[in-house]
Structure 1
Amino acid sequence: MTRFIAAVVAAVLAGSSAAAYGAPAIAADAVRNKQWHLKYLKVEEAHRSSTGKGITVAVIDSGVAGHPDLAGSVLDGTDFVKRGADGRTDRSGHGTGMAGLIAAHGNGNNGALGIAPDAKVLPIRVLDRGRRNAEVGPAIDYAVKKGAKVINLSLGGSIDPATLSAVEEAKAADVVIIASAGNKPAEFDVIAPAFLKDIVAVGATNRSGEKADVSVSGAALDLMAPGEDIESTDAGGGYRVGTGTSDAAAIVSGAAALIRSKYPDMSAPEVVARLESTATDKGAPGVDKDYGHGVLNLVAALSDSPGSGPAPSAAPSASASSTPTVAPTVAAPPDNELAGSTTPLIVGGIAAVVVLLGGLVGAFLLVRRRSGSSG
């Protein structure tokens, strides 16, 4: 009886602690079990080669809130929404989710696990709840200045000269930039800034490794990664489930961090080429508009003798007892935006800037129609 009472008291205290932190009343190991993309990508095997140590990944998003699974992994960043803040405010949970997919370390076999659990996250807040001007160009410049070797842009919208210049500066600084390709039905082709030639545009696959219904197609698409029903960290210390190319891009950013950690002398173009050349070909043979170079193959990308390697295996179907999914992961959507779409960034105040830049495609945007790896 004494042991029973002690067990009950311990359980109550644990539940109270979770509630105080804002975590849902679910066991932490249940979170890890629902991260189907970890088994699909053979992350445990990949971590025998690299865990991302020594690499900083900038997450340009809605900020990164405190979370037990990210404790010690989030650096002081910056905030373009609230000047003077450090990027650790996240009112939507989206940026915290992306950070978790990249660098969550959980606690042993419990909690969320990121692709690169020993990497550091540099939070750069450019998004709040709702539609607003977002200083993506200055955010990229800040990430480069602070030494980030990988930049994750799980957002999208229009483009401006400052962003174009910042991408060029990041290229000169040997930084890998990963961005979400865009989500249907709000988008129908690869969006800005992902369609720039020096950014890796990532689409989403489902549990079977096939193109997810939410993922756009387009000639500028580079790579695919899991992006359907993806479990990750949330603001408030809990967990969230997201569907979209935002999640897929964050997973690829984690993969880039693993490669940069294992092969520190490998240049950014070489890292991108490694990700693309080792991807599992899907769809039409070779590079195509639905899968780009193929689906991320983490183990092959980390091999000292990279080849196509064994393809990732399809994940089991979602259980009927799974925790209900919250709103699909989106980048701080305005109230009137369709769920599952990527947040438009109204850079320079008007979305029409994309149209105005249309005549400069050849000189600036360089949308890719590739038959091999990106340039």
Structure 2
Amino acid sequence: MLSVPLLTQQTPAGAAPSPPSNSDGVSRIRSDQWHLRYLNVADAQRLSRGEGVTVAVPDTGVDPHPDLRNNLLPGAKIIGDRIGDGRRDPNSHGTSMAGLIAAHGQGGGLGALGIAPRAKILPIVVAAANNYGEADDLAAGIEYAISQQADIISISSTGGSSQRLIRAVESAIRADIVVVAGVGNQPATTSIGYPASHPSVIAVAGVDDKGFHAAISVMGPKIDIAAPAVQIYSTSFGAKYSKGTGTSSATAIVAGAAALVRSKYPDLPASEVIHRLTATAVDKGPSGRDDQYGYGVIDLVAALTADVPPLGFSSSPPAPTVAPTPAAAQPGAGSKDGDSTVRGLLTLGVLVVAGGVWAAVVRRRRHGDDPPPRISR
């Protein structure tokens, strides 16, 4: 059985986590979440807030944080004694990822806010408190998500595969589930692992607060899209907050974006949800798809409003995608992150209090010289 490390941001070995205190954190966390301004989340949430969508988070579990508990469903524990419903997280990675997807905050601008604050989170424990997990345990988590009719699976981990894991991902794709996965963090890994390497999974890379490629993010020809991944604030266990850097966070943000799209366009198949996200991304780097940004940085408002022809649509000549540039943002204040370490189900981020994610989708991946679709605005 293959060990799959979680793509997390973590404190250096032996160091104590240093999240904001509860009293300070509740009042300042929203301003620290620079990615909300960068991605124009307020405008996007006037169009969709993720109602009616369930996002499965196979990870370290999800604590019932005050900013998240209203959206947290009972789930499952796949590993160990299998006792529990997934709503306990001794690590913080899963809670952080769930908060980025669907935290609802505490009103009045207090607390953390997720991309899709009315989506439901299905927590599935597939990794131990040390962030290590097995490929077959992740497979079992995906199988459980399918059985619970999840709409999206967010996987902030990468590593080796197994026959069962490959079958589980393909089953999710056949079930019309959007699967999102992080590409991995340098220097712990230098190539895109599984399941991001699967041709029907949307592979997520990371950018910094200026919209440039994040140094921690792995590069490669299978990257589809990029999202904020540097000093990302979210929920943590014990009603606290965390700060992380890595493609785990970017993955959860894209999963939240998929929830917005699935909520606004409930009849779209998963393949078209992914197509809409990649087709409306803000082109970065060399024109067209490239190995740092994929098709570009996610644009939430464009994904919810653009006239995107369906897959298979052909026009002459094909036009490159140019989406509105995300609003400029200033990174939130906070202490400096510790060095990144990668453990177990290689979690895609380095949390001051640890975190992680994973997911899949049905679509034809466009790579290399394939032209992007024409977008009417």
TM-score range, shorter chain: 0.7 to 0.9
Aligned to 1:324: 335
Matched, 1:93 2:107: no
Taking structure 2 as the reference length, the TM-score comes to: 0.81
Matched, 1:309 2:323: yes
1:88 is displaced (CA, Å) by 1.2
Matched, 1:126 2:126: yes
What is the distance in 1 between the residues matched to 2:154 and 2:285? 26
What is the distance in 1 between the residues matched to 2:68 and 2:356? 27
The one-letter amino acid of 1:268's match is A
Taking structure 1 as the reference length, the TM-score comes to: 0.81
Q: How many residues align?
A: 328
Task: Give the gaps of 5 or more residues in structure 1.
Answer: 1-21, 346-365
Per-residue CA deviation, residues 293-335 of structure 1 (Å, 9 max, x unaligned), is: 10001110000535733111332255xxx2324557877x36x
What is the distance in 2 between the residues matched to 1:124 and 1:370? 35
Per-residue CA deviation, residues 16-40 of structure 1 (Å, 9 max, x unaligned), is: xxxxxx9534152310000000000
Does structure 2 conserve the Cα–Cα contact (< 8 Å) formed by 1:102 and 1:251? yes
Matched, 1:153 2:151: no
Aligned to 1:80: 78
Greater mean deviation of Cα atoms: 222-231 or 81-90:
81-90
Per-residue CA deviation, residues 154-180 of structure 1 (Å, 9 max, x unaligned), is: 011100111111111111110000001
What is the distance in 2 between the residues matched to 1:67 and 1:305? 37
Aligned to 2:260: 258
What is the distance in 1 between the residues matched to 2:366 and 2:290? 11
The one-letter amino acid of 1:258's match is L
Aligned to 1:289: 291
Does structure 1 conserve the Cα–Cα contact (< 8 Å) formed by 2:153 and 2:179? yes
Greater mean deviation of Cα atoms: 109-118 or 81-90:
81-90
What is the distance in 1 between the residues matched to 2:144 and 2:230? 31
What is the distance in 2 between the residues matched to 1:142 and 1:193? 17
Aligned to 1:59: 57
Does structure 1 conserve the Cα–Cα contact (< 8 Å) formed by 2:349 and 2:356? no
Does structure 2 conserve the Cα–Cα contact (< 8 Å) formed by 1:42 and 1:299? yes
What is the distance in 2 between the residues matched to 1:368 and 1:301? 17
Aligned to 1:117: 117
The one-letter amino acid of 2:254's match is V
SS in 2 for 1:68: coil
Per-residue CA deviation, residues 76-126 of structure 1 (Å, 9 max, x unaligned), is: 100112313111121110000000000000012110000000000000110
The one-letter amino acid of 2:322's match is S
Does structure 1 conserve the Cα–Cα contact (< 8 Å) formed by 2:247 and 2:349? no
Per-residue CA deviation, residues 228-274 of structure 1 (Å, 9 max, x unaligned), is: 00000001110000000000000000000000000000010000000
What is the distance in 1 between the residues matched to 2:52 and 2:356? 32
SS in 2 for 1:232: strand
Aligned to 2:5: none
Aligned to 1:236: 238
SS in 2 for 1:224: strand
Does structure 1 conserve the Cα–Cα contact (< 8 Å) formed by 2:200 and 2:365? no
Aligned to 1:371: 369
What is the distance in 2 between the residues matched to 1:343 and 1:296? 21
Task: Give the gaps of 5 or more residues in structure 2.
Answer: 1-19, 309-320, 358-363, 373-377
Matched, 1:106 2:105: yes
SS in 2 for 1:87: coil
What is the distance in 2 between the residues matched to 1:207 and 1:369? 26
What is the distance in 1 between the residues matched to 2:338 and 2:257? 26
Equivalent in 260, 273, 276 of residue 275 of structure 2: 273
Structure with larger Rg: 1
1:46 is displaced (CA, Å) by 0.2
Aligned CA distance change for structure 1 residues 191 and 373 (closer, same or farther; 3 Å): farther
From the two aligned structures, give the one with the greater helix fraction. 1
Aligned CA distance change for structure 1 residues 76 and 250 (closer, same or farther; 3 Å): same
What is the distance in 1 between the residues matched to 2:26 and 2:348? 31
Does structure 1 conserve the Cα–Cα contact (< 8 Å) formed by 2:248 and 2:349? no
The one-letter amino acid of 1:52's match is G
What is the distance in 1 between the residues matched to 2:368 and 2:111? 40
Q: CA RMSD in A?
A: 2.7
Q: RCO (CA 8 Å, sep 6+): is it higher in 1 or 2?
A: 2
1:367 is displaced (CA, Å) by 9.4
Aligned CA distance change for structure 1 residues 176 and 338 (closer, same or farther; 3 Å): closer
Does structure 1 conserve the Cα–Cα contact (< 8 Å) formed by 2:25 and 2:241? no
Q: Taking every aligned residue pair, what percent have the same amino acid on both sides?
A: 43
